[in-house]
Amino acid sequence: MSNEVSSLALLGGEPAFDRVLPVGQLNWPEWQDIEKTFHGIFDRRYYTNHGPLTEQLEDRLARHLGVRHALCMTNATIGLMIAAVALSLKGKVIVPGFTFVASAQSISWAGLEPVFCDVDAATHQISVKHVESLIDDDVSAIMGVHLWGNPCDITSLGQIAGRHGIPVYYDAAQAFGSSFGDRLVAGFGELEVISFHATKVMNSMEGGCVCTDDDELAARLRNIRSSYGSGPPVPIPFTGNGRFSEAQAAMALLSLDQFSANDKRNHQNWHRYKDRLAQIEGLRIPDLVAGSHSNEQYVVFEVDENGYGLDRDQLTRILHAENINCRGYFTPGLHRSYPYADWYPQYRYELPVTDDLCQKVMQLPSGQSISCSDIDQICSLILQVHHHAPEIRRRLRNT
Ligand SMILES: *Cc1c(COP(=O)(O)O)cnc(C)c1O
């Protein structure tokens, strides 16, 4: 037994993997295909302002996602910032405390104040009960987030927003390909913002898109993004530069071609992990909101120290030493992060579920570069560590 414990890299053994397994998707097209599309860009000597590849991409995205408008932007963060201005929001916007920092920062950049909301313990999604209790006359919108690519409770958020006469929009950065009921994420609320960052299933070497069915809102978004020639001017408070380049469009078109293969792999990877991890005491995979379907691009679970024997941070250290680049995700919550902890100290003790999940949640590698046997090896390591948890805990105390 102690033999096996000593073979852990953190306790002096060799790492299980001789290359570092990345945690994000990092899906790449073939070099020959990229080269071909780049020839076109160089031949045209045109790489910006809504070129032919961007136009083609926006058209394909809108059809794929089933929305009237898919407006490509520099990245999803810029998309969220532009969205807040285009929606003419005032005062405060409700946002979950358990999300990537860009969700709240986009609100601050637009001159608005985030109101931090807790999440549901079972699903990790924005707590609809807590949302309703936070609405007052200064709140002008709700931002839902589809965390882990799992859609949040779109039906309930829509009902609450309707009762109070305020809009809902979504940070759908992680949810390309996810759906709710019979509709893909992209078509819900006033608008949804999807990311094409390297760690996401669709990737354009930085990029994102803002999706909406509302023609007037789309015209404002286009004008604020500032794509000359891509629509008539409409009144807006100010423009920015959220333009999407032809280089990004070339990458995104190839990524879209690959999407169904990458999506299928994510599905297989996720279920392979789930089948193995669900049997280990103390590990828990978050539930889906009823009626939703996830793109399963994030392999995320909770580590309960009491059942598993080690806490999330100890397990993360052990796996890192094995060259498995897992990570504790979203820690601390936004309400306890810079600068929000100082700006809005009133939320400090108001988000107990977020605080708890920030100690427990971790993400494991998936995506193109992770094979089935990698997953089997990672899961059997996690199981072995659980079996020898008391001894490992003792040894870690002494290192
Ligand atoms: C990735 C991500 C973003 C930011 O997307 P970028 O395209 O990198 O700007 C925003 N919100 C969430 C929830 C994300 O996961």
Q: What is the pTM of this model?
A: 0.97
Which among 308, 305, 316, 302 is positioned nearest to 10, based on CA atoms? Answer: 316
Which among 200, 249, 99 is positioned nearest to 116, based on CA atoms? Answer: 99
Q: Quick one: which H or E segment has residue 76?
A: helix 76-86
Distance of CA 226 to the CA centre of its chain: 26
What pLDDT is recorded for position 1?
A: 45
What value does the mean pLDDT of the chain take? 95
Task: Calculate mean pLDDT across residues 137-156.
Answer: 98
Of 61 and 226, the structure prediction assigns the larger pLDDT to 61
Q: How confident is the model at residue 239 (pLDDT cuts 50, 70, 90)?
A: confident
Other C-beta atoms within 10 Å of 167: how many?
18
Dihedral angle over CA of 109, 111, 112, 114, nearest 10: 40
Ligand 1, atom 8, lies closest to the CA of 197
pLDDT in tens, 299-323: 999 999 999 999 999 999 999 999 9
Q: How confident is the model at residue 13 (pLDDT cuts 50, 70, 90)?
A: very high
Q: Which two tokens stand for residue 141?
A: 């919108």
71: which residues sit within 8 A by CB, 6+ positions away? 58, 79, 209, 210, 211, 212, 218, 221, 222, 225
Task: Calculate mean pLDDT across residues 275-284.
Answer: 96
Taking 70 as the threshold, does the pLDDT of residue 229 lie above it? Answer: no
The one-character DSSP state at 97 is: S
Ligand 1, atom 6, lies closest to the CA of 76
Q: Which two tokens stand for residue 282?
A: 């103390």
The one-character DSSP state at 202 is: S
Residue 399 CA, ligand 1 centroid: distance in Å: 37
Which among 186, 134, 208, 187 is positioned nearest to 164, based on CA atoms? Answer: 134
Whether 333 and 99 have beta carbons less than 8 Å apart is answered as no
Taking 90 as the threshold, does the pLDDT of residue 136 lie above it? Answer: yes
Q: How confident is the model at residue 227 (pLDDT cuts 50, 70, 90)?
A: low
| Residues contacting ligand 1 via CB (< 6 Å) | 75-77, 99-100, 102-103, 145, 171, 173-174, 195, 197, 208
Task: Calculate mean pLDDT across residues 15-26.
Answer: 93
What pLDDT is recorded for position 355?
A: 97
Best probe residue, ligand 1, of 101, 106, 152, 171 (max atoms within 8 Å of C-beta)? 171
pLDDT more than 90, % of the chain: 91
What pLDDT is recorded for position 50?
A: 84
Taking 80 as the threshold, does the pLDDT of residue 252 lie above it? Answer: yes
